[in-house]
Amino acid sequence: MSGDILHRIFYHFDSDVCAHVIKDFFSGRKYNVQFNLHELRHASTPNVSNVGVSILLLSTQSFDFIMSQNHLNLNEIFPNPELSVVLFFRVETTNTKIRMLLSSRIKDFQKWTILEYQAASSLNILDKDIMKLVEKSEGCPPVPSLQNVWVWTGDGVRPQEEVFLMFTQPIDPDSEVKVIQEWDGLKRTAARLNSMAYSFILGDVKPGERKIEVFVNNNSFGRIVLHVPCVEATMEEISKLLHNVINPIEFLCQCLHIVSASRDDLDRKLLNVLSNNTRSASHIFQGLDWERFGESISNYELPTLLHFGAKYGLKRFCMELLSLPGGTHALKMKNIDRMLPYEIAEKEGFDHLALELQTGRKASCTSSIRSSSDSGIGGEVIPVTDTSGNKMRSGNRGQNSPPETSRPTESTRL
């Protein structure tokens, strides 16, 4: 994007997940600016003359690294201290101590802005602070818009969430900004973030395209259309979240407080959680005719936990799911890409798991055929008795009963 202010994020190798989340969240979506990532241990001054906010992302390891590298000239990397910012990410020390230590390495460090940032998935508070810093960047291009104000809501906005209003010209601090929701006539006062940005909390609203009208001192600045999506399935939300991180396995391990951050330990942890929380209630679903659903196609990438386990190679977790009611139905469900669980595992390189899931699916299909045959499809059902007249089983006249096919058992799990 020619002519845009370049915003840079410097980070150490252990903070790359957080750095990419910040870059993806801000880059080109709200500020019409470009974010470049630079790994700090290999950082050199980029040949860029128009640099706005530079962000130094600090974790415990990266902070220790900076203090140990005497040859690292941070003043060359950060030419404008007034537009630099430090983000803390799991740094177990105080602001005062960090400022004192870094001031010995960076000239004019007292002009830097320090922001505490603890979670890669919580950007709302940080968002407002970054917005103010970006606005300070001299020469920053105006927000592209054909109207006086536009709205940013990410991929959509839900009831009771914060909506940001971005004006193309500064608003006087004494001005009153209000929003009218056209679907219910409710008027809301927007909170001032800076001279060109305001926000308000959206009220209750049904999914669809909904209009709001923005007023400044009772003068209309135009109508804006909000996209209010339907509430997504939890699995779809998890899928989107994991798409935004560099290492999904490591991220999930952090969420579950697994120290080793390994796929095997994650598999065991999820198996334990699943076993402890489903066995007591699984009898409710026993006996339901899952086979009547047949094969189905979902609108989501990971419509079931089985698809999730297949994507991330969680074999124990998948085998436990197959033993639960509905497990065989999930085997036959295709995702939005028309892929079955075993095909997802195969695509991700988990060949052994793919084979297990494919075997389970074949067993399920064979079992379904047997059930249809036993219920009279293709022949008359007659009782088969022994010499004493006791009924033993049902069979089809003129046909042999198909062999019993077993589904995955405990012995097939890791």
Contact 7, 53 (CB under 8 A): yes
Domains and CATH numbers, the chain: 6-136 (3.40.50.10140), 149-228 (2.60.40.10), 234-376+406-412 (no CATH)
* CA atoms 24, 29, 30, 36: torsion sign: positive
Q: What is the pLDDT of residue 326?
A: 75
Only one residue has tokens 């709205």, namely 151
Q: Report the alpha-carbon distance of residue 257 to residue 255 in Å, rounded.
A: 6
Candidates 386, 370, 367, 387; CA nearest to 378 is 370
Q: What are the beta bridge partners of residue 229?
A: none
**Contacts of 47 by beta carbon, 8 Å cutoff, 6+ apart:** none
Only one residue has tokens 């798409």, namely 243
Q: In a 3-state reduction of DSSP, which class is residue 83?
A: helix
pTM for this structure? 0.36
Q: What are the beta bridge partners of residue 210?
A: 226
Q: What is the pLDDT of residues 286-316, one digit of tens each?
A: 444 445 445 677 777 888 889 999 999 999 9
As a whole number, the mean pLDDT across the chain is 69
Tokens of 368: 């379904």
Torsion, Cα 344 348 350 351, to 10 degrees, reads 70
Q: In a 3-state reduction of DSSP, which class is residue 75?
A: helix
Contact 219, 177 (CB under 8 A): no
Q: Report the alpha-carbon distance of residue 354 to residue 313 in Å, rounded.
A: 9
Name the stretches of the chain with pLDDT < 70.
Answer: 1-8, 11-14, 16-17, 21, 24-35, 41-52, 71-73, 76, 79-83, 89-93, 117-159, 168, 229-235, 277-295, 361-414
Q: What is the pLDDT of residue 145?
A: 30
Q: Report the alpha-carbon distance of residue 105 to residue 408 in Å, rounded.
A: 61
Burial of 391 (0-12, 13-18, 19+ CB in 10 A): exposed
Q: Report the alpha-carbon distance of residue 190 to residue 199 in Å, rounded.
A: 5
* CA atoms 229, 235, 237, 243: torsion sign: negative
Contact 356, 316 (CB under 8 A): no
**Contacts of 71 by beta carbon, 8 Å cutoff, 6+ apart:** none
Strands 296-297 and 333-334 turn out to be: parallel
Burial of 191 (0-12, 13-18, 19+ CB in 10 A): middle
Q: What is the pLDDT of residues 148-161, one digit of tens each?
A: 555 554 445 666 77
Q: Report the alpha-carbon distance of residue 59 to residue 13 in Å, rounded.
A: 10
- In the chain, the percentage of residues whose pLDDT exceeds 90 is 11
Q: Report the alpha-carbon distance of residue 178 to residue 214 in Å, rounded.
A: 6
Q: What is the pLDDT of residue 176?
A: 92
Q: Report the alpha-carbon distance of residue 11 to residue 56 in Å, rounded.
A: 6
DSSP state of 148: S
Contact 203, 181 (CB under 8 A): yes
Q: What is the pLDDT of residue 142?
A: 38
Q: What is the pLDDT of residue 414?
A: 29
How many helices (H) and strands (E) are present in the chain, helices listed first?
Answer: 13, 17
Candidates 152, 130, 240, 237; CA nearest to 202 is 152
